[in-house]
A = this chain, B = another copy of it.
Amino acid sequence: MKIDADRLLSDLHRLREFGKEGSGVVRPAFSGPDIAAREWLAEKMREAELEPNFDPAGNLFGLPSVDEPCLLMGSHSDSQPEGGWLDGAYGVIAALEVSRAARGKVPVAVVSFQDEEGRFGALTGSNVWSGGIKLETADKLTALSGETFAEARARMVHLVRDDFVEAERFSGFIEAHIEQGPWLDKAGEAVAVVESIVGVGRMQVTYQGEQNHAGTTPMIYRRDAFQGLAEFNQRLNAALVPVVTESTVWTIGHVEISPGAPSIVPGRAVFSVQWRDSDPERLELMAKIVVETAEAVAAERGLVCTLEPGIPVAPRQFDERLCTALATAAERKAPKRWRRMTSGAMHDATNVARVMPSAMLFVPSIAGISHSFEEDTAEADLVTGAEVLLEAVGQIGLN
């Protein structure tokens, strides 16, 4: 069994064409480029003798014709609003290549989950598929554009032949992914075996103040929603310092200030707060601090505060047998150039681990950059990653 490096890289570059924008991709879930990319993937699956199967949530499975449960590998092919070319895409194409390379020896199913990047909620496709959320509940999730998940998935309904693929068809799940952080690149290492994933808490905060004239409203009478946000941010940072570790992260990434004119005191601020840690207790404590800080600032400044908690994701431990297989394969294919680590990013494997043994493999991200057009990985590392996967598949499947 041998990885065809040219075929792997050529398919990766072909997938990059869907929604290509400079060196990155704009291929958000259910967009035209996303659906076109999935139709192309289905065709590649067919060529690899995998039966393509779109499910009602927009997930695409490629199924080998076998009677026994087989390994499932893959990731997602939707992107961030301004995404890199490898985020998700690498795991899907690496899985396809491993399935082709192992064909006839070890059957490997391939999947591209839908809306991993969370236009609607978070990791929506794998969450629905693994029973984390009901389809009817997901249908009410709304993107920032105002579109619901139900409306979005209706655009793919013509591709669905069957219902959801049953989890019982698979014996385990391995997801390859770019690290999206700096550690492998800084250390010059080729791969990482991911033993666990941090949990995520999230909150959307709305501060409603009073929109008014920026020249005639004295500072002491203002109820400025942007000032509320800026102070919330500073106080949250200060309140979290004694609570966090060096791997804890938190982010205010989405901010809308209304009406948004230089001469008007902002009447409304809507913003996201997101925090990640591997310790469930710390996640809960952080949630409490977010809520208390948001409400305290609002009360002091005469703002009306509305809090809309997002669906939290619990930290996840991966399957030790699969991790050991990946570690053994890593030591063979990249001796002394690999590590075990925790993932700071959410991945579909977090959800899939609910229903079967799961694990992940990381390849390096140059300078740790991801969720950005600049995201990239050295070709040699992309190939080594696939070789490690195939080596692990050999061990797992032939044992």
Contact = CB atoms under 8 A, between A and B. Distances in A.
Contact of A372 (B212, B221, B234, B274): B212
A96 interface: no
A220 B309 CA distance: 26
Interface stretch (A70-78, A159-167, A179-187, A290-298): A179-187
B265 A246 contact: no
A261 B265 contact: no
B247 A263 contact: no
Interface string A39-63: 0000000000000000000000000
Given A82-B211, A211-B82, A255-B226, A216 B263 contact: no
A321 interface: no
Interface stretch (A101-109, A126-134, A150-158, A363-371): A363-371
Interface stretch (A9-17, A168-176, A343-351, A384-392): A343-351
Contacts of A218: 181-182, 246-247, 249
A217 interface: yes
Contacts of A148: none
20 contacts: A80-B261, A80-B263, A117-B263, A181-B217, A182-B217, A210-B369, A211-B371, A212-B372, A213-B371, A216-B343, A230-B252, A253-B263, A253-B264, A254-B261, A255-B255, A255-B257, A255-B266, A261-B371, A263-B371, A265-B371
A279 interface: no
A217 B257 CA distance: 26
Contacts of A233: 226-227, 230
Given A118-B263, A255-B255, A212 B272 contact: no
Interface size class of A (residues with CB under 8 A): 35 or more
Contacts of A255: 226, 255, 257, 260, 266
Nearest to A247: B218
A276 interface: yes
The residue in A221, A248, A250, A259 that gathers the most chain B C-beta atoms within 10 A of its C-beta is: A259
Given A211-B372, A213-B345, A215-B180, A246 B264 contact: no
A231 interface: yes
Contact of A264 (B80, B200, B346): B80
B371 A212 contact: yes
A335 interface: no
A54 B224 CA distance: 38
A262 interface: yes
Given A81-B259, A213-B370, A214-B274, A265 B247 contact: no
Nearest to A117: B263
A263 B274 contact: yes
A267 interface: yes
A368 B180 contact: no
A306 interface: no
Interface in A110-130: 117-118
Contacts of A316: none
A264 B371 contact: yes
B346 A215 contact: yes
Contact of A265 (B214, B253, B266, B343): B253
